[in-house]
């Protein structure tokens, strides 16, 4: 995320206005030149790129814009690792050998080349390392000395879009409350949005607003007892999914930025010109779930059919279930809903425990874990809990349905 010095938001009268970089010729040219620098810098050290980036600080261009764009491009780079040996260990060996060497051998001349060879020999540094540049192996753990190995390129316009989105994401890290209002729900973009809410494991409520609008309220990190920073990051990562909506929408976020004494409000509508980097899939599904659906239908299509059809199942206190897979029995037309829990922690176990009274009879919770550790939960949910040890398989899912 573009945070701290890279975030250029403007604060005024209780509102925060994220910086928006225009897609004009000047900015496109800047983006193009920066991208070209990274594309042509393979096997160069990071500090060399940093020095060249300073040359982009020209009149009428805010240096922080250049720094922000460069930060996004650095995030797309892969730099060299430390190799076979830890530079800290090597330094300790070399400096210890050097101290002993100079104590025993006071310098007789200023030519240090031979002294260096003798010190490296005393430190038992390999000849291969000794032949390389000193900072490549002696100070290889210093970020500025790491070598660019590869760069994942990007189009100029996409870099600007990413810059603008991350300006907003950097603010959303400090969300106390976020509300998204949208015009309708019966379209694929809404289904994708709900799946993304679930994917990022956000706490949310859905209520009906006036004139056929829905309101989705997401609790901010302030309502989470642990990992508040991590939860704020999930909200920020969720934001580009809102841009996938194909219906009119508004977003309002209440922010408590650490560097500001008061709370600020940020507003955004569908009338923006932001382009999300998330792909629209009509209905968003995890690739593993799609693979399971395919394998299930290959085995049991004569009897049952699995699909990625989406349902929103309302529970009490504005809670919802969003199954990943719907399986329809062709003879009875009965639908079985499967929620595949990909991440399990104590909070999720407590949540499942509270669901036992409201969980539909045809709803299956599939989660990875050890049956012995989940015996209490199994006793409460019965056949509606499917525990698997390595991978959720089509036969296991079929058997679980038959046991309901």
Locate 344 and state its tokens.
Answer: 């399990």
Domain membership of residue 361 (yes or no) is yes
In eight-state DSSP terms, residue 178 is: E
Per-residue model confidence (pLDDT) at position 226: 47
Domain membership of residue 279 (yes or no) is no
pLDDT tens track for 55-70: 888 767 889 999 999 9
**Residues 251 and 347 placed together within one structural domain of the fold:** no
**Residues 354 and 373 placed together within one structural domain of the fold:** yes
**Residues 8 and 105 placed together within one structural domain of the fold:** no
pLDDT tens track for 70-86: 999 999 999 886 555 66
pLDDT tens track for 348-385: 777 777 877 888 899 999 988 888 888 888 888 899 99
Do strands 325-329 and 335-341 pair parallel, antiparallel, or not at all (unpaired)? antiparallel
Would you say residue 154 has pLDDT above 50? yes
In eight-state DSSP terms, residue 14 is: T
Would you say residue 169 has pLDDT above 90? yes
**Residues 49 and 151 placed together within one structural domain of the fold:** yes
β-sheet bridge partners, residue 251: 180, 268
pLDDT tens track for 261-310: 899 999 999 999 999 998 876 555 567 788 999 999 999 999 999 997 66
**Residues 45 and 150 placed together within one structural domain of the fold:** yes
Q: Cα dist. 327→84, 305, 310, 334, 368 in Å?
A: 51, 5, 11, 8, 20
**Residues 43 and 153 placed together within one structural domain of the fold:** yes
Please identify, among 269, 300, 315, the residue that sits at the C-terminal boundary of a domain: 269
Domain membership of residue 169 (yes or no) is no
Q: Are 129 and 137 in contact (CB under 8 A)?
A: yes
- Report the pLDDT averaged over residues 221-233: 63
Q: Cα dist. 19→68, 171, 284, 305, 362 in Å?
A: 12, 11, 30, 48, 48
Phi, psi of 175 (to 5 degrees): -70, 130
**Residues 42 and 150 placed together within one structural domain of the fold:** yes
pLDDT tens track for 99-150: 887 777 776 665 666 777 777 777 776 544 444 555 555 665 677 878 899 9
pTM tops 0.75? no
Please identify, among 160, 185, 201, the residue that sits at the C-terminal boundary of a domain: 160
Q: Are 30 and 56 in contact (CB under 8 A)?
A: yes
**Residues 112 and 72 placed together within one structural domain of the fold:** no
**Residues 31 and 151 placed together within one structural domain of the fold:** yes
**Residues 54 and 184 placed together within one structural domain of the fold:** no
Phi, psi of 162 (to 5 degrees): -65, -40
Domain membership of residue 14 (yes or no) is yes
Per the listing, tokens 């989940």 go with 374
- In this structure, what CATH number is given to the domain that contains residue 337? 3.40.1350
Domain membership of residue 168 (yes or no) is no
When divided into structural domains, the chain yields a total of 4
Would you say residue 390 has pLDDT above 50? yes
Would you say residue 224 has pLDDT above 70? no
Its domain, for residue 19, covers 4-80+146-160
**Residues 24 and 155 placed together within one structural domain of the fold:** yes
**Residues 37 and 152 placed together within one structural domain of the fold:** yes
Per-residue model confidence (pLDDT) at position 365: 92
Domain membership of residue 262 (yes or no) is yes
β-sheet bridge partners, residue 339: 365
Mean pLDDT of the chain: 84
């Amino acid at each position: 995320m573009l945070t701290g010095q890279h975030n250029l938001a403007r604060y005024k009268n209780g509102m925060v206005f994220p910086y928006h970089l225009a897609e004009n010729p000047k900015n496109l040219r800047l983006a193009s030149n920066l991208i070209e620098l990274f594309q042509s810098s393979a096997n160069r050290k990071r500090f060399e790129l940093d020095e060249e980036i300073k040359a982009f600080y020209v009149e009428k261009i805010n240096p922080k814009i250049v720094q922000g764009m460069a930060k996004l491009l650095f995030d797309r780079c892969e730099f060299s690792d430390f190799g076979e040996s830890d530079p800290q260990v090597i330094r300790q060996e070399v400096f210890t050998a050097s101290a002993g060497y100079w104590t025993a051998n006071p310098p007789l001349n200023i030519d240090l080349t031979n002294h260096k060879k003798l010190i490296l020999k005393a430190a038992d540094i390999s000849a291969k390392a000794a032949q390389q540049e000193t900072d490549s192996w002696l100070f290889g753990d210093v970020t500025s000395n790491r070598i660019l190995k590869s760069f994942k390129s990007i189009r100029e316009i996409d870099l600007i879009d990413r810059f603008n989105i991350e300006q907003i994401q950097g603010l959303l890290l400090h969300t106390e409350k976020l509300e998204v209002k949208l015009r309708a729900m019966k379209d694929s973009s809404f289904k994708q949005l709900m799946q993304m809410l679930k994917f990022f494991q956000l706490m949310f409520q859905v209520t009906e607003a006036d004139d056929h609008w829905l309101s989705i309220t997401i609790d901010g990190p302030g309502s989470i007892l642990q990992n508040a920073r991590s939860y704020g990051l999930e909200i920020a990562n969720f934001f580009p999914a809102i841009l996938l909506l194909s219906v009119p929408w508004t977003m309002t976020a209440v922010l408590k930025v650490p560097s500001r004494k008061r709370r600020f409000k940020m507003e955004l509508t569908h009338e923006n010109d932001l382009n999300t980097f998330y792909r629209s899939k009509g209905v968003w599904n995890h690739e593993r779930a799609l693979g399971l659906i395919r394998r299930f239908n290959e085995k049991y299509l004569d009897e049952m059919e699995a699909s990625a059809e989406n349902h929103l199942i309302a529970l009490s206190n504005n809670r919802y279930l969003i199954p990943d897979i719907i399986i329809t029995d062709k003879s009875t037309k009965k639908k079985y809903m499967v929620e595949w829990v990909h991440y399990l922690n104590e909070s999720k176990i407590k949540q499942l425990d509270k669901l036992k009274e409201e969980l539909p009879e045809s709803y299956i919770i599939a989660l990875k874990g050890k049956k012995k550790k989940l015996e209490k939960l199994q006793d409460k949910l019965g056949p509606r809990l499917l525990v698997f040890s390595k991978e959720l398989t089509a036969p296991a899912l079929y058997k679980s349905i038959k046991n309901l």
